[in-house]
Amino acid sequence: MSADVVYVDLDAFRGERVRQCADVLYGTGRHDAVALLRRYPGCLCVTLRGPGGVCTAVTRGGERARVATGARELSAGEHALLAALLHAWLVRGLPLDTFGDFVDRRLTPGRTARASAAPGAAPPSPCPGDSAGRRG
């Protein structure tokens, strides 16, 4: 399985060559998601950001979801992260109709998620089966 996924910002990259390679297209709401999916058959999904922090996601299968990300409009960088998360969500086989709720509960500004270890505990290891974070 390859980890290479091509995300293309429709507003920054207007060239056909890079768009033809896209797995995910994202940009402002002035684009037509359905037409983009027809034009670029390798693309799994398109997300279009609009005013008020609302994005519309459309998949190759025709599913559509509205994702509210807060009271302000997303930056292009924030939108790229949302597009990456959407792609991973869909590849994992999770239903699109629950994506918006996930974003609202977990990622909306003003909500925080915190992970912490017990005082004095070693940080988690990046290596499976190595609880101390060291190889020995």
What distance in Å separates the CA atoms of residue 71 and residue 36, rounded to the nearest whole number?
27
Q: For residue 54, how many C-alpha atoms fall within 13 Å in the half-sphere facing its CB?
A: 7
Instruction: Record the tokens describing residue 112, joined without a space.
Output: 């925080």
Q: Has residue 63 got a pLDDT over 80?
A: yes
Query: How much is the pLDDT for 109?
Result: 55
Q: What is the pLDDT of residues 1-21, one digit of tens each?
A: 346 889 999 999 888 999 999
Residue pointed to by tokens 């768009």? 19
Between 70 and 118, residue with greater pLDDT = 70
Percentage of the chain beyond pLDDT 90 is 41
Query: How much is the pLDDT for 71?
Result: 63
Q: Are 43 and 23 in contact (CB under 8 A)?
A: yes
Query: How much is the pLDDT for 118?
Result: 34
This prediction has a pTM of 0.73
Q: What is the pLDDT of residues 22-33, one digit of tens each?
A: 999 999 888 999
Query: How much is the pLDDT for 107?
Result: 63
What distance in Å separates the CA atoms of residue 78 and residue 51, rounded to the nearest whole number?
14
Query: How much is the pLDDT for 110?
Result: 53
Q: Residue 134, Cβ neighbours under 10 Å: how many?
A: 9
Domains of the chain (ranges; CATH) run 7-107 (3.40.1190.20)
Q: What is the pLDDT of residues 91-125, one digit of tens each?
A: 999 999 888 888 877 766 554 333 333 334 333 33
